[in-house]
Amino acid sequence: MHWVKALVIGVVIGAVIAGAVAYWFSINGSRSVNEFIGSVPNNIKISSPEFSNNTYIPRKYTCDGLDLSPPLNWSTVPSGTKSLAILVYDPDAPHGIFYHWLIYNIRPSLNGLPAGVPNEIVTPYGKQGINSFRRIGYGGPCPPNGEVHHYIFLILAINYPQELESGLTPQEFLNAVRGHIIGYGLLVGLYGR
């Protein structure tokens, strides 16, 4: 009888562990973002008035400061774009890609975002997803002590005809727009401790 109880406990523990692993991968993903972009042209110009490409992100936009999302500007959005999305991620994270921000369903008529987009599921600028901190909205660079990390600010032009639901994980979002990305641009920021 005790072996049946032990077996049941083992099965339950195994299911909990498997669920936790599946949830971690749904948040963090195991596949490269490049896999979803494919051969799409890099035709959108994205910049920030706070830092240039391949330079340090100011402290106030990190977990060591105010943890605000930085202001972003973009141009040359391709025709046929139904919506835009911003995905910010750290490819240097110790356990694989770490997603810091996902905001999507951005109107293609917008040409930028202000600093400090509220960490709400629906904003005046678009809907926000769940980051790898397991929170809605932006979570700034927060690397372990040591090497400088690269933070990719990726803008995507999407021709997906329908509005996506709120609160998606990056993997859910990327799976939903697979085959509908018609342009992108990159801004790389640096941060280290």
**Residue 20 pLDDT exceeds 50:** no
Cα separations (Å) of 118 from 7, 63, 136, 155? Answer: 47, 15, 10, 19
Check residues 31 and 105 and name the one with the higher pLDDT: 105
Q: Which domains does the chain have, with CATH numbers?
A: 31-191 (3.90.280.10)
**Residue 130 pLDDT exceeds 60:** yes
Tell me the pLDDT band of 32, cut-offs 50, 70 and 90.
low
**Residue 112 pLDDT exceeds 90:** yes
Q: What is the pLDDT of residue 161?
A: 77
Q: Are 48 and 71 in contact (CB under 8 A)?
A: yes
List the 181-191 sheet strands across, edge first. 55-56, 181-191, 149-158, 83-90, 98-106, 127-128
Query: Quick one: which H or E segment has residue 55?
Result: strand 55-56
Q: Are 47 and 188 in contact (CB under 8 A)?
A: no
Q: What is the mean pLDDT of the chain?
A: 86
Tell me the pLDDT band of 37, cut-offs 50, 70 and 90.
confident
Q: What is the pLDDT of residue 162?
A: 80
Residues 6+ apart with CB under 8 A from 73: 46, 47, 48, 49, 111, 112
**Residue 3 pLDDT exceeds 90:** no
In DSSP terms, 101 is beta-bridged to 88
pLDDT, one tens digit per residue, over 56-85 is 999 999 999 999 999 999 999 999 999 999
Q: What is the pLDDT of residue 12?
A: 36
Angle 156-159-164 from CA coordinates, rounded to 5°: 80
Query: Closest Cα partner for 142 from 63, 69, 88, 26?
Result: 63
Segment 7-15 shows an average pLDDT of: 38
Q: What is the pLDDT of residue 1?
A: 52
Q: Is 79 helix (H, G, I), strand (E, B) or coil?
A: coil
Q: Which of the 8 DSSP states describes residue 164?
A: P
Q: What is the pLDDT of residue 60?
A: 98
